[in-house]
Amino acid sequence: MFIPVGFSQRSVATKLGSMVYYTPDGLPWRTGAASGDDLPTDLPTIVFLHGFGGGSSAYEWSKVYPAFAAEYRVIAPDLIGWGRSEHPAHNYVVDDYVSTITEFLEQTCEGPVPVVASSLTAAITIRAAIARPDLFKCLILTTAAGLSDFGENYSRSFFAQLVSTPVLDRFIYSAGVATRTGIRNFLENRQFAQADRIFPEIVEAYLESAQQPNGEYAALSFVRGDLCFDLALYVPQLTVPTAIIWGERSQFTGPEIGRRLAALNPQAIRVFQELPNVGLTPQLEVPAVTIGLIRRFLTLLQ
């Protein structure tokens, strides 16, 4: 229902389960698709990784990645525990995503590739790029924060403590997160700077992902703070060329955090671009602007 025209769903196996991804293999992106001719194999690859939150999935980038399908072999996965990928009953930690992102790139890409990633996943991708720089040509990141940056401890917040309560955590998820009203409220109050940019399709796509069986495991690991860390401890180790986009009205971490992180390693983080009147996910809120910036940064960083 939410797969862009000309894209299809495929999957690869990781140690934590099957990981679904979306890639262009039909009209209008591959002109040989209708006749059965072989599809082009010489296009460079670009990977888009979504962030975390109730109902997150590759849909988050679906208004952006088709703009690159004529020139790139686009790959946009649902991370383990999200979207249509496998949802093991598991208490997730950062290393789970560092390892599955690494496994995914090893299996789907040949050589280093540009990776575009969002929010906490962007921070985790920095750690993957530090561990395996050979897999990454460049990073283009939106609101790349570990959510416990510069010594802040998100897990001590009232909401994180509340969601850490057994039984109550599942109730909060089913009644307050994985509902149409819950999704809409989160998007309006936490994710978007302007509520009039939230179309019904966005709500439905997030709801479909949130209501997948076992969908609460990854989401609750996120809101409990199990996936949060101090990105400031890792940024100085980054060597992959990087650009960061940051919404001025990001509710979780403001642009001042992003500027502090970028200042820790100006050799690798070559661009920090703040966007006025934009929230946590510019790729959904102002997709045309995001596309233009990604194109600019691909040229600048490669």
In a domain, 264, yes or no: yes
In a domain, 29, yes or no: yes
User: In this structure, what token pair is assigned to residue 221?
Assistant: 């690991």
In a domain, 2, yes or no: no
Average pLDDT, the chain: 91
Judged against a pLDDT cut of 60, whether residue 167 lies above it is answered with no
Number of domains in the chain: 1
Pairing of strands 73-77, 45-49: parallel
For 256-278, the pLDDT digits (tens) are 999 999 999 999 999 999 999 99
In a domain, 158, yes or no: yes
Which neighbouring-strand residues pair with 246? Answer: 274
In a domain, 1, yes or no: no
Query: What is the reported pLDDT for 262?
Result: 98
CATH number of the domain encompassing residue 14: 3.40.50.1820
In a domain, 64, yes or no: yes
For 116-128, the pLDDT digits (tens) are 999 999 999 999 9
Residue 171: pLDDT band with limits 50, 70, 90: low
DSSP 169-202: HHHHIIIIISSHHHHHHHIIIII-S-GGG--HHH
For 97-149, the pLDDT digits (tens) are 999 999 999 999 999 999 999 999 999 999 999 999 999 999 999 999 999 99
- The model's pTM is 0.94
What single DSSP character describes residue 103?
H
Judged against a pLDDT cut of 90, whether residue 292 lies above it is answered with yes
Judged against a pLDDT cut of 80, whether residue 35 lies above it is answered with no
In a domain, 100, yes or no: yes
- Residue 73's domain comprises 7-301
Query: What is the reported pLDDT for 37?
Result: 47
In a domain, 130, yes or no: yes
Distance CA 79, CA 76 (A): 9
Judged against a pLDDT cut of 60, whether residue 160 lies above it is answered with no
